[in-house]
Amino acid sequence: MPKRVLILFAGIALALAACNNSTTPSATPTPASPSPNPSITAATVYVTVQGRPQPRVPVQISTPASSPSPRPGTPFATVTTEPLPAKSPGYATFSKLKPGDTYCWVATIPYRSPTPYPSGTPSPSPSPSTSAAGAPSPTPSPIVATNCTNEWQYQVIPLGT
């Protein structure tokens, strides 16, 4: 009897495995990029550093130097991001673009020293302006942010950190 039970369980297991292994292909939806809209000819770029909008940063636009590996080519226009008191600081809008074309945006964000504490506010221990060797500390390099895409019609292009 135990042998019959084992054979019965093996038969049930094989039947279940055969039912779950169907060979009928199922349709899997694949995300498609939206087709270019001919009425949208402007792109908006948002420049940030650590999530904070960066005012008055020049942003250059170019077409890629190479299609297979898009990297910025020769810039043909520069737009400066909106200042802080503006309605949308850190944003720059480029117009008269061709729908479906790939564009590259480059922002060179200059180093800005941290905002000083207001007078009367205790500040943390002062940071030394010289290195351990006594030499002046170098000014940090600017941040160069690049983004090349052909899907600029349906999103804000992020640049920065």
> What SS3 class is residue 103?
strand
Model confidence pTM above 0.75? no
> What φ, ψ does residue 3 adopt, rounded to 5°?
-65, -40
18 contacts 24 by C-beta, under 8 angstroms: no
Q: How many C-beta neighbours within 10 Å does residue 91 have?
A: 18
The reported pLDDT for the residue numbered 69 is 81
As to burial, measured by CB atoms within 10 angstroms (0-12 exposed, 13-18 middle, 19+ buried), residue 57 is: buried
Q: What is the residue type of 40? A: I
DSSP, residue by residue, 123-148 = PPSPPPSB-TTSSBPPPPPPEEEEEE
Q: What is the residue type of 52? A: R
Q: How far is CA 15 from CA 5, 18, 24, 25, in A?
A: 15, 5, 17, 20
Q: pLDDT (tens digit, 9 = 90+) per residue, 6-20? A: 665 565 655 545 555
Lowest-confidence segment of 14-18, 20-24, 31-35, 105-109 by average pLDDT = 20-24
The reported pLDDT for the residue numbered 65 is 87
Calculate mean pLDDT across residues 50-79. Answer: 92
Q: Which residues pair with 77 in a beta bridge?
A: 61
44 contacts 20 by C-beta, under 8 angstroms: no
The reported pLDDT for the residue numbered 80 is 96
In this structure, CATH architecture of domain 38-113+141-161: Sandwich (2.60)
Calculate mean pLDDT across residues 15-42. Answer: 61
Considering the chain, what is the average pLDDT of its residues?
A: 78
Kind plus residue range of the DSSP H or E element containing 48? strand 43-49
Calculate mean pLDDT across residues 87-105. Answer: 95
